[in-house]
């Protein structure tokens, strides 16, 4: 065993991990372990989704795996990290942001292709700013339910695999208890990842990120043809814009309102991401905010 892991339990899912985002280099992330929580317990396991991922639901419900989904143990082959990004929030440039309470474990090889697993509420990171790095049970259940509802409606979204809880108190408007939701997507790269390097004039990193996204998710953009003068980056922008517009149109069709639709909460894959404040309209109101 690696000496760095000597003091932590390692849990084996029996699956192969991939770490393409981590391989972009340290300018893109900080590697760190999740922060443990006391007395973790299973709140809910999405058994049908686990089966889609080729994972044994009975294994995922064991105390050892529940501990790993809470951040108290490590999955063998995972490579936990928090990524850095920037963004515009409510129309104002907010500067550097990043995964303030989310830890990316890596990409797991599944029948659905490589799917990244991320622990939301797994503790403080270098990008937490004034936050505590935690999520509460109430909001974690909301994300779990709503992301799966959106998937059921056929709307592109991140998905939820597991919610675990802990009696550790977390202070919000009142004292609540902590929870961690494991969310799943092919990638968690956001618009804000591109803004981060663009705003800093880091063109090499910006180009590396764009080429990574094209290689992994938009291979059709490698040779866009004469219409875009062979510019793969223009082709990527066009593809991401179209996917995002289609997703927002689907939101409008069901009355879904994303409460924090900032550039740090927009997926380059056109997925609904970051279920913080949100709601569904009971009736059509074109002026609703």
Q: Tokens 């990409």 identify what position? A: 107
Output the 3-class SS for 129-150. CCCCCCEEHHHHHHHHHHHHHH
Catalytic residue among 132, 223, 264, 274: 264
Does the annotation mark 264 as catalytic?
A: yes
Which DSSP string corresponds to the chain? Answer: --GGGTTS-EE--SS-EE-TTGGG-GGGEEE-PPPP-SS-EEEEE-HHHHHHTT--HHHHTSHHHHHHHHTSSEETT---EEE--EEEETTEEEEE---SSEEEEEEEEETTEEEEEEEET----TT-TT--S-EEHHHHHHHHHHHHHHHHTT--B-EEEEEEEEEEEEESSSEEEEEEEEEEES---BHHHHHHHHHTT-HHHHHHHHHHHHHHH-GGGSS--GGGTT-HHHHHHHHHHHHHHHHHHHHHHHTEEETT--GGG-BTT--B---SSEEE-SS--TT--
Give the C-alpha separation, 175 to 196, whole Å. 34
The residues that are catalytic are 264
């Amino acid at each position: 065993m690696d000496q760095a892991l000597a003091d932590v339990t390692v849990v084996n899912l029996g699956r192969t991990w991939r770490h393409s985002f981590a391989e972009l280099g340290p300018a893109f992330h900080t590697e760190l372990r999740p922060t443990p929580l006391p007395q973790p317990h299973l709140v809910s396991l999405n058994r049908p989704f686990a089966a889609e991922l080729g994972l044994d639901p009975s294994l995922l419900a064991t105390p050892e795996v529940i501990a790993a989904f809470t951040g108290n143990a490590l999955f063998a082959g995972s490579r936990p990290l928090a990524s850095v990004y920037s963004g515009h929030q409510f129309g104002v440039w907010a500067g550097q942001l990043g995964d303030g309470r989310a830890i990316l474990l890596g990409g797991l090889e599944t029948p659905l292709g490589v799917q990244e697993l991320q622990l939301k509420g797994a503790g403080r990171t270098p990008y937490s700013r004034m936050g505590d790095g935690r999520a509460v049970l109430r909001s974690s259940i909301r994300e779990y339910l709503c992301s799966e509802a959106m998937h059921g409606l056929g709307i592109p979204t991140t998905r939820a695999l597991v919610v675990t809880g802990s009696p550790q108190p977390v202070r919000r408007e009142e004292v609540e208890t902590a929870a961690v939701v494991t969310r799943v997507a092919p990638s968690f790269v956001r618009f804000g990842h591109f803004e981060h390097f663009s705003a800093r004039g880091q063109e090499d990193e910006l180009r590396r990120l764009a080429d990574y996204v094209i290689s992994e998710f938009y291979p059709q953009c490698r040779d866009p043809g004469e219409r875009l003068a062979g510019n793969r980056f223009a082709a990527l922008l066009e593809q991401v814009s179209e996917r995002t517009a289609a997703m927002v149109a689907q939101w409008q069709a069901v009355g879904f309102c994303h409460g924090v639709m900032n550039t740090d909460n927009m997926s380059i894959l056109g997925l609904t991401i970051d279920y913080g404040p949100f709601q569904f309209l009971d009736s059509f109101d074109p002026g609703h905010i």
